[in-house]
């Protein structure tokens, strides 16, 4: 809040953001907030009615967390000096009235740099992970949990020069011997030699940078990753194996003056295209620096034709649709924004880029949430509705049976109600017995799941793969180790899949028994499949192919090979453990609808019991009975109206998709 105010106060900054990307992201954020509100309303209502259960609570918490933490991740990749950082500046500069990231001819960005906004910490900062941490074999993902290893710089958003200085750190290099550079996992031929210290080379000072900064786009839930040019992709395997595949959109940046060069093509082929497309993220080629084609002597139409031709050629080379190659001048975009020059902004085509990002990235993210979170809630609401409808039917039938108040009718009423309570109590007990049996069954199965896929087994597989690596002939060990690891992990998941199938059959039977005991229609229960995780595992294995061949041929690249294997094993292990955890989660949630139904039934039986108590306590109240029931009915109908409204709102969200 404080930094937001300081941003607003400071002179010279243009605070207003009206571009379409920002608007779309903002609309998306509002949409999520509305959903959170709707879900919270339903949850409070459930609590007030005593109809919530711990399973439902857990399910709702998970969905609410997903909605609150959900971010859109945008990554910029490509050969050095193509203008990646300048493009990020173009997206963000208007808010600060200046460029954020350093841009220069030659290599500038030295380490992957993540920009985001974290509302839970006050003040802007840059956190930098020293390069020597590459030697200790600890993954970046783990370092992100141990922030004490990072160098912390605070950013003063009100002081332009201090801000510039802080951002310059990202471009810092240090000089080390060639051997040291190799030990750090670099390929020396790609490094710049030191001019004053022969035999020394420049390596990046930092392994990774995290920048927390308050900007409307970031505040609304967008995170941006800037990457250094060539070979950073190869030397930090986590970048290609984990960060890029996690991005929702990847912009592959090219320069319009040189078109697609051989190195551009290598990066595209080995590290970008397949990795991103397999995950279904949006992937665009950006032809930057189109201003270099602008020529005062040529008219605009001719220039545009040239640009269009270049776009078509590039699309063909990249084998993507023409609409996925975007011509742009990032530098003019920055200038136009800083000078508020509408004509230059149009010429820069920056707005087209923002529109594409808004349409494809934000919209696809929103759709994904619709299919998961919204659908899940809709299912829960329908189940509650069904329960209330059942109650209405019962109460209506009972009300019709009540004759106008006559002497003795109270006695009759009491007998009827006692019978009803007894019957329902029996049904409830039978249901509870089935539920207990079902719970027991799940409790027995849970340790089995944990034994089949868990930390211990993962460790065994890992060790076995390492043995295979050591036995392999020079250069081939890595490939064999990767194959071994994936074969073992997959075998476990396939066995777990079989186990889950038989569990599902058991759950199905229990649901049938439950329905028979209570003579109700069969409830639907949550289903779960390991297929997506098996798919993720295969994708990861495929992603390792370019590395295997490249590292396999590199003699003396032991460090890089070890690091690559450690990263791959960790990521595969994550998918594997996640599959185990999800299977466990499913087993616990599989009985959710049964529980919900039973809870609803219990509260119904309790109500009848109360009625019976009241009836016994005061005989005069018999006349009141019809009125009470009518009231009860009105209340239930009110509940139904409420639930129908919640369901309508949620269904509306689904339709909009």
Ligand X SMILES: Nc1nc2c(ncn2[C@@H]2O[C@H](COP(=O)(O)OP(=O)(O)OP(=O)(O)O)[C@@H](O)[C@H]2O)c(=O)[nH]1
The CA-atom distances, in angstroms, between 60 and each of 41, 73, 377 are 12, 24, 8
* Residue 85 engages ligand X in binding (rule: CB under 6 A): yes
Pick 257 or 319: Cβ nearer ligand X: 257
9 binds, among ligand X, Mg ion, none (CB under 5 to 8 A by kind): none
- Within 307-336, which residues bind ligand X (CB under 6 A)? 329-331
Supply the angle between the helices 409-452 and 592-617 in degrees, to the nearest 10: 160
Pick 84 or 431: Cβ nearer Mg ion: 84
Q: Which of 3, 52, 108, 611 binds ligand X (CB under 6 A)?
A: 108
Pick 113 or 220: Cβ nearer ligand X: 113
Q: Phi and psi at residue 477, in whole multiples of 5°?
A: -60, -45
Pick 31 or 294: Cβ nearer ligand X: 294
**Angstrom distance (rounded) from CA 563 to CA 138:** 9
Is residue 223 within 8 A of residue 72, CB to CB? The reply is: yes
To Mg ion, the closest distance from the beta carbon of 564 in angstroms equals 24
Q: Which of 3, 22, 89, 108 binds Mg ion (CB under 5 A)?
A: 108
* Interface map 294-313 toward Mg ion (x if CB under 5 A): --------------------
3-class secondary structure for 435-499?
Answer: HHHHHHHHHHHHHHHHHHCCHHHHHHHHHHHHHHHHHCCCCCHHHHHHHHHHHHHHHHHHHHHHH
The CA-atom distances, in angstroms, between 589 and each of 166, 517, 528 are 48, 21, 10
To ligand X, the closest distance from the beta carbon of 89 in angstroms equals 7
Residues 6+ apart with CB under 8 A from 641: none
Pick 83 or 592: Cβ nearer ligand X: 83
Pick 78 or 580: Cβ nearer ligand X: 78
Helix (H, G, I), strand (E, B) or coil at 341: coil
Q: Which of 3, 22, 89, 109 binds Mg ion (CB under 5 A)?
A: 109
Q: Which of 216, 229, 479, 592 binds ligand X (CB under 6 A)?
A: 229
Stretch that binds ligand X, among 106-114, 121-129, 373-381, 455-463 (CB under 6 A): 106-114
Pick 7 or 350: Cβ nearer Mg ion: 350
To ligand X, the closest distance from the beta carbon of 316 in angstroms equals 23
Tokens standing for residue 143: 């370092």
Helix (H, G, I), strand (E, B) or coil at 173: strand
11 binds, among ligand X, Mg ion, none (CB under 5 to 8 A by kind): none
Tokens standing for residue 66: 């997903």
Helices (H), 519-621: 531-543, 545-552, 558-589, 592-617
* Residue 105 engages ligand X in binding (rule: CB under 6 A): yes
To ligand X, the closest distance from the beta carbon of 253 in angstroms equals 6
479 binds, among Mg ion, ligand X, none (CB under 5 to 8 A by kind): none
**Angstrom distance (rounded) from CA 628 to CA 332:** 74
* Interface map 248-277 toward ligand X (x if CB under 6 A): -----x------------------------
Stretch that binds ligand X, among 45-53, 285-293, 301-309, 438-446 (CB under 6 A): 285-293
Stretch that binds ligand X, among 100-108, 122-130, 571-579, 605-613 (CB under 6 A): 100-108
- Within 567-606, which residues bind ligand X (CB under 6 A)? none
Pick 108 or 622: Cβ nearer Mg ion: 108
Q: How many of the chain's residues bind ligand X (CB under 6 A)? A: 23
593 CB neighbour count, 10 Å cutoff = 21
Angle (CA) 108 109 110, round 5°: 105
49 sits in the region (left: phi over 0; alpha: psi -120 to 50; else beta) called alpha
Pick 292 or 654: Cβ nearer ligand X: 292
227 sits in the region (left: phi over 0; alpha: psi -120 to 50; else beta) called beta
**Angstrom distance (rounded) from CA 67 to CA 61:** 10
Q: Which of 28, 42, 80, 486 binds ligand X (CB under 6 A)?
A: 80
Pick 236 or 413: Cβ nearer Mg ion: 236
292 binds, among ligand X, Mg ion, none (CB under 5 to 8 A by kind): ligand X
* Residue 84 engages ligand X in binding (rule: CB under 6 A): yes
Is residue 568 within 8 A of residue 537, CB to CB? The reply is: no
**Angstrom distance (rounded) from CA 280 to CA 390:** 43
215 binds, among Mg ion, ligand X, none (CB under 5 to 8 A by kind): none
83 binds, among Mg ion, ligand X, none (CB under 5 to 8 A by kind): ligand X
**Angstrom distance (rounded) from CA 200 to CA 223:** 36
Is residue 22 within 8 A of residue 216, CB to CB? The reply is: yes
- With CA atoms as reference, report the closest residue to 103 among 170, 152, 191, 14: 170
**Which pairing describes strands 222-226 and 151-155: parallel, antiparallel, or unpaired?**
unpaired
To ligand X, the closest distance from the beta carbon of 289 in angstroms equals 4
Q: How many of the chain's residues bind Mg ion (CB under 5 A)? A: 4
3-class secondary structure for 188-245?
Answer: HHHCCECCCCCCEEEEECEEEEEEECCCHHHHCCEEEEECCCCCHHHHCHHHHHHHHH
Helix (H, G, I), strand (E, B) or coil at 112: coil
To Mg ion, the closest distance from the beta carbon of 54 in angstroms equals 49
To ligand X, the closest distance from the beta carbon of 222 in angstroms equals 19
Pick 286 or 362: Cβ nearer ligand X: 286
424 binds, among ligand X, Mg ion, none (CB under 5 to 8 A by kind): none
**Angstrom distance (rounded) from CA 226 to CA 209:** 10
Q: Which of 19, 38, 55, 86 binds ligand X (CB under 6 A)?
A: 86
Pick 63 or 330: Cβ nearer ligand X: 330
* Residue 291 engages ligand X in binding (rule: CB under 6 A): yes
Q: Is the dihedral of CA 264, 78, 237, 197 positive or negative?
A: positive
- With CA atoms as reference, report the closest residue to 51 among 631, 602, 498: 602
Pick 98 or 585: Cβ nearer Mg ion: 98
- Within 53-92, which residues bind Mg ion (CB under 5 A)? 84-85
Pick 278 or 335: Cβ nearer ligand X: 335
To Mg ion, the closest distance from the beta carbon of 5 in angstroms equals 31
To Mg ion, the closest distance from the beta carbon of 80 in angstroms equals 7
Binding site for Mg ion (CB under 5 A): 84-85, 108-109
Binding site for ligand X (CB under 6 A): 80-86, 103-105, 107-109, 228-229, 253, 288-289, 291-292, 329-331
């Amino acid at each position: 809040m404080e930094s937001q105010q300081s941003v607003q106060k400071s002179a010279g900054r243009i605070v207003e953001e009206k571009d379409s990307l920002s608007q779309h992201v903002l609309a998306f954020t509002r949409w999520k907030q509305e959903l959170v509100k709707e879900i919270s309303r339903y949850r409070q209502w459930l609590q007030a009615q005593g109809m919530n259960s711990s399973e439902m609570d857990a399910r709702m918490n998970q969905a609410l967390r997903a909605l609150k933490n959900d971010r859109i991740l945008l990554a910029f990749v490509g050969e050095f000096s193509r203008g990646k950082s300048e493009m990020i500046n173009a997206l963000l500069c208007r808010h600060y009235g200046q460029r954020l990231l350093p841009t220069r001819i030659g290599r500038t960005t030295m380490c992957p740099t993540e920009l985001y906004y974290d509302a839970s910490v006050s003040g802007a900062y840059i956190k930098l992970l020293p390069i020597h941490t590459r030697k200790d074999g600890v993954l970046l993902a783990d370092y992100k949990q141990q922030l004490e290893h990072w160098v912390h710089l605070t950013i003063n958003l009100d002081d332009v020069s201090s801000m510039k200085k802080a951002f310059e750190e990202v471009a810092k290099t240090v000089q080390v011997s060639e051997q040291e550079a190799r030990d750090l996992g670099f390929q020396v031929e790609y490094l710049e030699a030191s001019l004053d210290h022969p035999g020394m080379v420049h390596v990046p000072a930092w392994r990774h940078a995290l920048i927390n900064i308050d900007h409307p786009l970031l505040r609304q839930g967008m995170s941006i990753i800037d990457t250094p040019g060539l070979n950073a992709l190869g030397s930090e395997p986590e970048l290609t194996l984990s960060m890029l595949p996690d991005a929702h959109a990847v912009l592959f940046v090219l320069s319009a003056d040189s078109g697609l060069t051989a190195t551009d093509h290598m990066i595209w082929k080995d590290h970008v295209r397949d990795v991103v497309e397999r995950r279904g993220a949006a992937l665009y080629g950006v032809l930057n620096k189109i201003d270099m084609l602008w020529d005062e002597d040529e008219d605009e139409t001719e220039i545009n034709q040239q640009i269009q031709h270049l776009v078509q050629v590039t699309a063909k080379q990249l084998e993507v649709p023409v609409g996925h190659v975007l011509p742009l001048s990032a530098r003019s975009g920055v200038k136009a924004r800083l000078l508020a020059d509408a004509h230059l902004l149009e010429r820069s085509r920056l707005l087209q880029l923002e529109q594409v990002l808004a349409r494809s990235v934000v919209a696809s993210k929103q759709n994904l949430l619709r299919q998961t979170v919204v659908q899940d809630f809709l299912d829960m609401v329908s189940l509650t509705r069904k329960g209330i409808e059942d109650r209405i039917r019962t109460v209506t039938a009972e009300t019709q049976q009540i004759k106008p108040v006559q002497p003795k009718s109270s006695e009759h009423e009491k007998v009827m109600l006692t019978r009803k309570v007894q019957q329902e109590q029996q049904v409830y007990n039978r249901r509870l017995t089935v539920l207990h049996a079902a719970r027991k069954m799940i409790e027995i199965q849970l340790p089995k799941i944990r034994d089949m896929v868990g930390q211990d087994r993962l460790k065994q597989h890992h060790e076995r793969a390492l043995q295979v690596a050591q036995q392999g002939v020079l250069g081939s060990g890595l490939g064999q180790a990767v194959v071994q690891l994936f074969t073992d992990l997959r075998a476990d998941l396939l066995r777990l899949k079989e186990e889950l199938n038989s569990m599902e059959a058991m759950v199905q039977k229990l649901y049938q028994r439950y329905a028979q005991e209570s003579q109700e229609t069969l409830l639907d229960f949550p289903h779960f499949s390991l297929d997506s995780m098996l798919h993720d595992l295969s994708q990861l294995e495929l992603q390792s192919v370019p590395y295997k061949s490249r590292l396999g041929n590199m003699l003396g690249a032991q460090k890089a090979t070890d690091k690559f294997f450690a990263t791959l094993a960790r990521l595969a292990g994550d998918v594997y453990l996640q599959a185990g955890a999800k299977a466990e989660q499913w087993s616990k949630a599989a009985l959710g609808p049964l529980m919900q139904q039973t809870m609803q039934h219990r509260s119904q039986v309790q109500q009848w019991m109360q009625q019976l108590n009241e009836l016994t306590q005061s005989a005069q109240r018999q006349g009141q009975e019809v009125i009470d029931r009518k009231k009860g009915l009105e209340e239930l109908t009110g509940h139904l109206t409420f639930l129908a409204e919640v369901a309508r709102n949620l269904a509306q969200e689904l339709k909009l998709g």
